[in-house]
Amino acid sequence: MSYLSQTDPAIAEYLTKELERQQDVLELIPSENIVSRAVLEALGSVATNKYSEGYPGRRYYGGNQEIDKIEAAAIERAKQLYGAEHVNVQPLSGAPANMAVYAALLEPGDTVLGMDLSHGGHLTHGHPMTVMAKIYNFVRYKTENDGTIDLDKLRTLALEHKPKIVLAGFSSYSRSIDYAGFKRIADEVGAITMMDMAHIAGLIAGKQLENPVKIFDVVTTTTHKTLRGPRGGMILAREQYSKAIDRAVFPGLQGGPHENVIAAKAVAFLEALQPAFEGYARQIMKNASVLCDELKNRGFKIVFGSTENHLILFDAFASKGVGGKHAERALDEAGITVNKNVIPDDTRPPLDPSGVRIGTPAITTRGMKEEEMKFVAEAIDRVLANPDDDSVKQAVREEVRTLCRRFPIYGDLSY
């Protein structure tokens, strides 16, 4: 019996049920993944007990000899992974990492050119609901009908608005970005280049997508998406911005760093440095490409036209006459976890948008390959063709369970 089940049977039971859910469903949310047992162990370690405000070698608390080694290892490994000059591993997550960069490099009222949310950008790239949008002036660019970003239009916006930061990066965009093109435009108007690689950090670490760290001034990321580490954030930057960024993270925005999470980040970075991680990243993209083709063959309308990374956004409403909310619920009942998502200039409300966003990082971690993607596409199609038919959903649910048991996760883990 675990300590947890003895002291807190309620939470132990919820965790057991959550573990079973993760074991038995097709996890297609593109921002999720399945971390290793080693990452879980580091997360649940004694490093959680420690206060370590400051940075390695310069702490405001005693007793940080081993913690310093852990954080230094995380920084060193991240530098190696991306070829970065400076790394800060303390941001608590992706949103705080972005906020820290804005705080470090901008004055209130300064302008950032970022991607529109409904065209694939993240909330923290200027959505009016965020605190950041109240402090800074965000001008947002959009994608074209063919799914690309028109650099001439981006340049016109940059010349007109004179941004201090030109920001690339996205949460629901499936095409690649011309970093050199962004950089040329930023240079022309004297702006700092920032890339938020949260979604694709693992594909870059696995050498399947171009590395923006070589080209851009500042790169932010989460560590829990394709990179397959613990929930958390990270900032990589040129040396000239290092002091401003470190000061903005601590004491600017945060207090004590979560050193158990930093230990887990270090473990995940070492995993990503192994040659096998390249194979993983390559398979994520192969799987996404096959899944996208299979969906197209079944009449699904793919937003942005195709995928060049790990994610696919399809217009569920235009394809199958099912709104995003209805689609998400029906698929959930069939053991397929997805998330509803807005499509460019969506006319439906944010809580019931037109799109559904899916991705292959988690199912690829389980070991699924091209063959299984055909089943996934067919299963999605069957459910969305009959979203209210319980017998169809039950049948798919059973087939999904059978498939998942062929690709088990977390063996003897229990709570």
Ligand X SMILES: *Cc1c(COP(=O)(O)O)cnc(C)c1O
Helix 390-406 with 324-333: angle, nearest 10 deg: 60
**77, 199, 301, 397: which one binds ligand X (CB under 6 A):** 199
DSSP label at residue 302: B
d(CA 220, CA 243): 16
- Smallest gap from Cβ 198 to ligand X, in A, equals 3
Active-site residue, from 79, 142, 231, 401: 231
Q: With contact defined as beta carbons under 8 Å apart, do 270 and 84 qualify?
A: no
Please confirm, yes or no, whether 196 is among the known catalytic residues: yes
Site for ligand X in 12-31 (CB under 6 A): 31
Letters for 111-140 (x = contact with ligand X by CB under 6 A, - = none) are -----------x-x----------------
**73, 78, 94, 320: which one binds ligand X (CB under 6 A):** 94
CA 347 from centroid of its chain's CA atoms? 25
- The residue range among 192-200, 279-287, 296-304, 347-355 that interacts with ligand X, by the rule CB under 6 A, is 192-200
DSSP string, 309-362: SSEEEEEHHHHHS--HHHHHHHHHHTTEE-EEE--TT--S-TTS-SEEEEESHH
- Smallest gap from Cβ 171 to ligand X, in A, equals 4
Asked if 177 touches ligand X (CB under 6 A), the answer is no
Give backbone dihedrals phi and psi of 357, rounded to 5 degrees, phi first: -110, 130
CA 70 from centroid of its chain's CA atoms? 24
**95, 312, 356, 362: which one binds ligand X (CB under 6 A):** 95
Report helix, strand or coil for 157.
helix
Asked if 209 touches ligand X (CB under 6 A), the answer is no
In the bound state with ligand X, the residue whose beta carbon lies nearer, of 272 and 311, is 311
In the bound state with ligand X, the residue whose beta carbon lies nearer, of 23 and 211, is 211
Give backbone dihedrals phi and psi of 196, rounded to 5 degrees, phi first: -105, 100
Report helix, strand or coil for 193.
strand
**130, 143, 222, 354: which one binds ligand X (CB under 6 A):** 222
- Smallest gap from Cβ 93 to ligand X, in A, equals 3
Please confirm, yes or no, whether 53 is among the known catalytic residues: yes
d(CA 272, CA 343): 32
In the bound state with ligand X, the residue whose beta carbon lies nearer, of 23 and 118, is 118
d(CA 296, CA 28): 17
Amino acid identity at 359: G
Strands (E), 245-397: 311-315, 336-337, 339-341, 355-359
Please confirm, yes or no, whether 225 is among the known catalytic residues: yes
Please confirm, yes or no, whether 222 is among the known catalytic residues: yes
- Smallest gap from Cβ 203 to ligand X, in A, equals 13
Site for ligand X in 338-357 (CB under 6 A): none
| Nearest C-alpha neighbor of 345 from the set 116, 39, 90 | 116
Asked if 171 touches ligand X (CB under 6 A), the answer is yes
- Contact residues for ligand X (CB under 6 A)? 31, 93-95, 98, 122, 124, 169-171, 196, 198-199, 222
Q: What residues are annotated to the active site?
A: 51, 53, 196, 222, 225, 231
